Amino acid sequence: MTTSTISAGQSVDVAQANLLFAEYVNRAQPELIISDIKINQTAVALNSISAMANLAIDNEITPVFLKIHIENGQVSSGNDEYKNSRILADSGWPIVLPLYESDNQEYPLLVYRAFQKNERVLFDQIQDSYEGDTASLNQILPKVDEFHNAAGKAQVSSLVVTDSVEASRKAQLQIFFGRRLDVGSRADQWFTSERSFKLPGLDNPIEWNELKRKNWVVNGEKYGVTLGDVLEIARAELLFKNQTGRKSYLVSAHGDDHPGNIVSSFEDNSARVFDPAAAGLAPGSMANAKALAHTGLLPMSGMYYDPKIQAQYQLKGNDISVEYGFAATPVFKEHEALARQIIDSRFIPVFKSMKAAGADIQSEFATLKSALAMCALLTVDTAKLLEQPQTHKGIMLLPATLMFSQLSGLPSLDYLKQELAKI
Ligand SMILES: Nc1ncnc2c1ncn2[C@@H]1O[C@H](COP(=O)(O)OP(=O)(O)O)[C@@H](O)[C@H]1O
Ligand SMILES: [Mg+2]
């Protein structure tokens, strides 16, 4: 018997899972004629259960993608994914809209047209590039550029200023960062005093308690801040603590537009975003952090793919140094190009419009740096990744945290720092 581990963690028979899914769909939207439901088994989707199926519309069969959101082991409304897609589409974001949505509270369900053969998710194309085939990624780069351009314009035109910081605190994206930083959250679970990190080149694993106090030298460049400092600063910044008098500068944000949520079509020359579960108005300083972090530095640092480059760490007194050839990673040129697109089309226009609307731009920059740094530190469990033998996964995520916090150490980050300084 083949078994499948679905997101809730139980093992069930695949055929049985398909039947259960079909029954769920029937209860969610009995009027839809859906057949051939096959549940997707993917390690990537942690917050949803999905299936491929066929939908009959006017005697035509349309392949569809069915999606149910899961939150704390329960079905959830997906934070109004349907409503969010509409909001983003109306403000000008190129986005994949659902065909149907169940308004049944007990059985929420989203129905999308299935991606076709000529449509590829950007994450998968970057993955192919790590295996040596960068041609198709390079082919879609101009489409992705157009997408970021449209997204940036939509963001600028949606700018809303409110008189208190309360609106920033309540933004869905802030809540998302907050959940990772609050007491007892990921930050506390992954970075306990005795958690040890196996860094190549060091004789012994190093405990967080010691590591968090070290001074860093990355590729010969000194970072005058420790990992412990960066984490503490981020807690204050991203939870918007002690910020009385600060206003909110909000723009439309997808909230989770990493390459795994961008699809490009080779047919109609477009790239669009999907999965807008965390979308809505968000502080302009945080709105584009995930897009940049997960497209540039983090993949090169081994967050998802094996960058195939070894790093050498060294301890000397209270200093920890590391040498790593970012430029020799397999997709360096493309990652840098993708990062530049996001900087030019989204970061710079959004920060310019915030400044023009009266924002204290230095404090907005500080929020941005913390948001980027926390993408490096709190997306995946670095200590665990570093335990994996024979890969270079997670190899530069700790230094990436510092690089983001100082906007330094990569051409794209130096460029971002320089362009922000001109605003
Ligand atoms: N319309 C679709 N057709 C086919 N596959 C899809 C479609 N939408 C999403 N997927 C696949 O399913 C995965 C998870 O879907 P997504 O909407 O991003 O949910 P999650 O909230 O779990 O990230 C995506 O990474 C993509 O590979
Ligand atoms: Mg997704």
- For the segment 190-204, what is each residue's pLDDT rounded down to a tens digit? 999 999 999 999 999
Query: What type of residue sits at position 20?
Result: L
Contact 414, 408 (CB under 8 A): yes
Write the CA distances from 90 to 93, 158, 285, integer angstroms.
7, 10, 22
Alpha carbon of 121 to ligand 1 centroid (Å) = 9
Give the closest residue (by CA) to ligand 1 atom 13: 45
44 — pLDDT class (breaks 50, 70, 90): low
pLDDT digits (tens, 9 = 90+) for 100-127: 888 777 888 899 999 999 999 999 999 9
- In the reported structure, the alpha carbon of residue 65 is separated from the centroid of ligand 1 by a whole-number distance in angstroms of 8
284 lines ligand 1 (CB under 6 A): no
Helical residues (DSSP H) of 166-306, grouped into ranges: 166-170, 172-181, 186-190, 208-211, 227-238, 284-287, 289-295, 297-300
Burial of 366 from C-beta contacts in 10 A (0-12 / 13-18 / 19+): middle
Task: Identify the band that residue 9 occupies on the pLDDT scale cut at 50, 70 and 90.
Answer: very low
Same domain, 298 and 187: yes
- What is the average pLDDT score of the chain? 91
Tell whether the model's pLDDT for residue 4 goes beyond 80. no
The model's pLDDT over 253-272, given as tens digits with 9 standing for 90+, comes to 999 999 999 999 887 779 99
Residue type, 38: K
With a cut of 80, say whether residue 7 has pLDDT above it: no
Q: What pLDDT, in 10s, does the model give residues 315-325? A: 999 999 999 99
- The percent of residues in the chain predicted with pLDDT above 70, rounded, is 94
For residue 312, pLDDT over 60 is answered with yes
- Is residue 5's pLDDT more than 50? no
What token pair was written down for 327? 């430029």
Domain boundary residue, one of 114, 140, 169: 114
Distance 275 CA to ligand 2 centre (A): 5
Q: Does the beta carbon of 115 lie inside 6 Å of ligand 1?
A: yes
Are 90 and 154 found together in one domain? no
Measure 176 CA to ligand 2 centroid, in angstroms: 14
Q: Which listed ligand is nearest to 294 at the C-alpha? A: 2
* Residues 162, 248 within the same domain: yes
- Domain encompassing residue 327: 120-421
Residues 106 and 124 in one domain: no
Among 77, 274, 290, name the best residue to mutate to test ligand 1's pocket (greatest count of ligand atoms within 8 A of Cβ): 274
Q: Kindly report the number of other CB atoms within 10 A of residue 236's CB atom.
A: 14
The residue to which tokens 């079905």 are assigned: 75
Same domain, 195 and 328: yes
Q: Is 283 in the pocket of ligand 1 (CB under 6 A)?
A: no
pLDDT of amino acid 104: 78
What residues does the ion ligand 2 have nearby, CB within 5 Å? Answer: 261, 275
Kindly state whether residues 57 and 152 are assigned to the same domain: no
Say how many domains are in the chain.
Answer: 2
User: Predicted confidence band at 390 (pLDDT cuts at 50, 70, 90)?
Assistant: confident
Q: How far is the CA of 329 from the centre of ligand 2 (A)?
A: 25
pLDDT of residue 125: 94
- pLDDT (mean) for 31-39: 92
